[in-house]
């Protein structure tokens, strides 16, 4: 019963919390009410309510504040806190949750460590060739600050994973796309070729996680779209990009799988059939849409809302 009450009061304090999102079962994310997170970047949200054993706790990965859910509620609104204590008392849960021992290990791959030597696309001069290439793809401007120019992709990767590329012959610049977990920590990244270099995409895993892009941005309480390419996912609200069938842990009732609109070889047909077999909704693009993926649809003049409408109209 106390677990139900805790979840209820997380919902009740959500109006006090900026960028409040449910990230998973017993995990909520928002801007820290103690430190305010970053003043320069209003999209930063590094405060988390999470479950440890049978209780909920709060931790900020910016200022380091860690406390119980009750103390967080008290800090935000004293009246709500009194109601919270009373309701827990009525259910026999009047024991005070002890402060946990904060044994948070610093993640090995934090943004400041991994990307400190790189410039984001938003930091490049407007006439910089890499920035022009990205902007010519009509990538949303707000996404440019988390896309990076990597001048020597092989050499850069070897600084993180020694001898990942034994030879640096043919090393070249690539667009670096970081993959973040629900806490915003980088667990992988993808290097996309600017030109005709092959392979077009190289994905590097820093941790033994699945290759899912966008985990730090989605709200699991809202409808989730799943596409194939990270850049395509930037054009749709609440969208992930995954490889293969790595979306299998997503809720079936509010997830739509959106495959690229390319000729369907046997592998693609198998993936579509597998998604349907797992009872996911699947978008099958209409034959009158000639564009191979969402980015190409944007370049053709379609808006994000146009694309979302077409997805909804062609979901089975």
Q: Where are the domains of the chain?
A: 2-90, 111-209, 224-313
Q: Taking the model in full, what pTM does it have? A: 0.67
Is domain 224-313 in CATH 3.40.1360.10, yes or no?
Answer: yes
111-209 in CATH: which number? 3.90.980.10
**Cβ atoms < 10 Å from Cβ of 300:** 11
**3-state secondary structure (DSSP) of residue 153:** helix
Instruction: Decide the pairing of beta strands 224-227 and 255-258.
Output: parallel
Name the H helices within the chain: 2-13, 69-76, 78-90, 111-114, 129-136, 153-160, 230-233, 266-277, 294-299, 304-313
The pLDDT score that the predictor gives to residue 288 is 95
CA pair distance 150, 107, nearest whole angstrom: 22
Whole-angstrom CA distances from 197 to 63, 156, 169, 178 are 42, 17, 13, 20
Contacts of 153 (CB under 8 A, 6+ apart): 171, 172, 173, 174, 176, 191, 202
Task: Put residue 289 in one of left, alpha, beta given phi > 0 → left and psi -120 to 50 → alpha.
Answer: beta
CA pair distance 51, 280, nearest whole angstrom: 29
The pLDDT score that the predictor gives to residue 113 is 63
**3-state secondary structure (DSSP) of residue 102:** coil
The pLDDT score that the predictor gives to residue 94 is 46
Class of domain 2-90: alpha beta
The pLDDT score that the predictor gives to residue 88 is 81
The pLDDT score that the predictor gives to residue 108 is 42
The pLDDT score that the predictor gives to residue 210 is 76
* Residues of the chain predicted below pLDDT 70: 1-2, 91-113, 209, 243-248
């Amino acid at each position: 019963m106390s677990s139900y009450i805790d979840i209820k009061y997380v919902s009740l304090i959500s109006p006090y919390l900026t960028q409040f999102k449910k990230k998973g079962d017993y995990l909520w994310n928002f801007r820290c009410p103690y430190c305010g997170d970053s003043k320069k970047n209003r999209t930063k949200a590094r405060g988390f309510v999470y479950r440890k054993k049978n209780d909920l706790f709060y931790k900020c990965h910016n200022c380091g504040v860690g406390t119980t859910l009750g103390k967080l509620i008290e800090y935000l609104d004293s009246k709500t806190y009194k109601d919270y204590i009373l309701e827990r008392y009525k259910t026999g849960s009047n024991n005070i949750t002890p402060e946990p021992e904060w044994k948070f290990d610093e993640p090995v791959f934090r943004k400041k460590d991994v990307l400190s030597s790189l410039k984001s696309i938003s930091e490049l001069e407007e006439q910089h060739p890499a920035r022009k290439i990205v902007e010519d793809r009509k990538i949303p401007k707000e996404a440019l600050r988390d896309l990076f120019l990597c001048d020597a992709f092989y050499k850069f990767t070897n600084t993180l994973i020694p001898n990942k590329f034994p030879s640096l012959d043919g090393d070249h610049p690539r667009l670096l796309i970081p993959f973040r977990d629900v806490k915003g920590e980088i667990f992988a990244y993808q290097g996309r070729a600017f030109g005709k270099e092959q392979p077009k995409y190289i994905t590097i895993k820093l941790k033994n996680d699945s290759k899912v892009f966008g985990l730090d941005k989605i709200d699991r309480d809202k409808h989730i779209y799943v596409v194939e390419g990270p850049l395509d996912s930037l054009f749709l609200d609440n969208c992930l990009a995954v490889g293969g069938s790595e979306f299998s842990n997503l809720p079936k009732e509010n997830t739509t799988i959106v495959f690229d609109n390319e000729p369907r070889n046997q592998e693609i047909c198998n993936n579509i059939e597998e998604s349907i077999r797992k009872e996911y909704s699947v978008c099958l693009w209409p034959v009158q849409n000639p564009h191979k993926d969402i980015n190409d649809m944007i370049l053709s003049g379609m808006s994000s809302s146009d694309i979302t409408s077409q997805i909804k109209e062609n979901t089975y």
